[in-house]
Amino acid sequence: MTESPVLTFNDGNTIPQLGYGVWQVEDNVAEDVVGKAFAAGYRHIDTAQAYQNESGVGRAIASSGVGHEDMFITTKIWNSNQGYEATLSSFEESMQKLGLEKLDLLLIHWLQPKQSKYVDTWKALVELQKQGRVKTIGVSNFTKEAITELIDATGVTPAINQVETHPHFNQADLRAFEKEHGILHESWSPLGQGKELLEDPALQQIAQKHGVTVAQVVIAWHLAVGNVVIPKSVTQSRIVENFAALDVKLQDDDVATISGLDKGAEGRIGPDPAESDFQ
Ligand code: NAD
């Protein structure tokens, strides 16, 4: 069976570059679809406290027949759990739901600049890593400035930043900053949530040329430019189709064409981390 390539974090641990995201998957559906993802070959699952499906993911982990040492599980601290103590206690709740002793990757879900608890939250993640409860720690929806603040406050550089990224909003500037600091880049809504992006004529042309689907071309582009990528689908055929994007080999000019489709801020679908303020 095809396996995802792995990328190496700044702490020496590794992450399968292609994973499976479960935002907006009901807890009682999560066990079934995550099971299908494991069967299709995915070994990396991206959940979060806010998705309210950590228990379903935990049941899928337990019934998968795959040992935890052969999988990679991410969860994220929700905004209302930010702060040193609340992070530590909510982490324990997440681990109970997931049925795990040690987590592969823990992220701060959103920057929440007005709430301004992200430095204390980061200190709790540093402590969890020191205690050996979490292998790798990182952030999600963080700006360059806020990442710099975390480094200045603790001396610990996040291993990864998970942010909205797809060909219409490709985050070239943030990616360059992360590269300079040895931070991996992880793409959320990598398929643009399956909307207009997949109708882009330039992507359709490249898909036709290779005899593959547009979703596969987009996933192959994320992989080619070095992003960790976590497409979501609850449809069996698409779960398999998205994983098979590992076999799509884009040419350099395809990658350049797709990187040229960026629309700047106009291409953004979700909230701007610098302004986000929600519970
Ligand atoms: P996505 O870009 O992965 O798109 C998913 C949608 O695209 C599906 O619901 C389906 O409608 C469509 N789709 C999937 N496969 C397809 C295919 N092969 N052909 C055609 N259409 C297809 O969107 P997403 O779920 O927003 O993002 C993926 C994951 O990223 C999430 O599940 C979650 O794990 C993570 N995420 C994180 C954050 C964050 O704040 N950290 C925010 C959003 C998403």
143 CA from centroid of ligand 1 (Å): 21
Q: Answer whether residue 123 is part of any domain.
A: yes
Closest-lying ligand 1 atom to the alpha carbon of residue 197: 2
- Amino acid at position 142, single letter: F
> What whole-number distance in Å separates Cα of residue 277 and Cα of residue 116?
10
Q: Answer whether residue 220 is part of any domain.
A: no
Residue 279 confidence (pLDDT): 74
> What whole-number distance in Å separates Cα of residue 254 and Cα of residue 221?
8
> What whole-number distance in Å separates Cα of residue 108 and Cα of residue 26?
22
Residue 8, C-beta contacts closer than 8 angstroms, at least 6 positions apart: 14
The CATH number linked to 170 is 3.20.20.100
Residue 147 confidence (pLDDT): 98
Distances (CA, A) of 191 to 37, 221, 223, 232, 240: 17, 11, 13, 9, 15
Closest-lying ligand 1 atom to the alpha carbon of residue 109: 41
Q: Answer whether residue 69 is part of any domain.
A: yes
Residue 268 confidence (pLDDT): 97
Residue 145, C-beta contacts closer than 8 angstroms, at least 6 positions apart: none
Using CB distances shorter than 6 Å, the residues near ligand 1 are: 21-23, 46, 109, 140-141, 162, 188-194, 198, 213, 215, 230-233, 238, 241-242
CB 50 within 8 A of CB 22: no
Catalytic pick among 20, 42, 51, 118: 51
pLDDT tens for the chain, 279 residues: list them.
789 999 999 999 999 999 999 999 999 999 999 999 999 999 999 999 999 999 999 999 999 999 999 999 999 999 999 999 999 999 999 999 999 999 999 999 999 999 999 999 999 999 999 999 999 999 999 999 999 999 999 999 999 999 999 999 999 999 999 999 999 999 999 999 999 999 999 999 999 999 999 999 999 999 999 999 999 999 999 999 999 999 999 999 999 999 999 999 999 999 999 998 987
- For atom 25 of ligand 1, which residue has the closest CA? 232
- Measured over the CA atoms of residue 79, residue 80, residue 82 and residue 87, the dihedral's sign is negative
Closest-lying ligand 1 atom to the alpha carbon of residue 188: 30
Q: Answer whether residue 91 is part of any domain.
A: yes
Query: Candidates 110, 193, 227: which one to mutate for ligand 1, based on the most atoms within 8 Å of Cβ?
Result: 193
Q: Answer whether residue 53 is part of any domain.
A: yes
CB 58 within 8 A of CB 97: yes
Q: Answer whether residue 1 is part of any domain.
A: no
Domain residues for the domain of 109 are: 6-191
23 CA from centroid of ligand 1 (Å): 7
Total domains in the fold of the chain = 1
Structure tokens at 139: 């952030």
231 CA from centroid of ligand 1 (Å): 5
84 CA from centroid of ligand 1 (Å): 30
Residue 91 confidence (pLDDT): 98
Q: Closest Cα partner for 4 from 41, 36, 33?
A: 41
Half-sphere exposure (Cβ direction) of 238: Cα atoms closer than 13 Å:
14
- For atom 16 of ligand 1, which residue has the closest CA? 238
Residue 176, C-beta contacts closer than 8 angstroms, at least 6 positions apart: none
- For atom 38 of ligand 1, which residue has the closest CA? 188
- For atom 34 of ligand 1, which residue has the closest CA? 21
Q: Answer whether residue 129 is part of any domain.
A: yes
At 167, is the secondary structure helix, strand, or coil? coil
CB 53 within 8 A of CB 75: no
Q: Closest Cα partner for 57 from 23, 75, 24, 34?
A: 34
257 CA from centroid of ligand 1 (Å): 22
Instruction: Give, for 58, the enclosing helix (H) or strand (E).
Output: helix 54-63
Residue 278 confidence (pLDDT): 83
> What whole-number distance in Å separates Cα of residue 230 and Cα of residue 237?
16
- For atom 30 of ligand 1, which residue has the closest CA? 188
Q: How many other CB atoms are found less than 10 A from the CB of residue 8?
A: 12
Q: Answer whether residue 269 is part of any domain.
A: no
Phi, psi of 227 (to 5 degrees): -80, 145
- For atom 7 of ligand 1, which residue has the closest CA? 194
Please indicate whether residue 51 is annotated as part of the active site.
Answer: yes
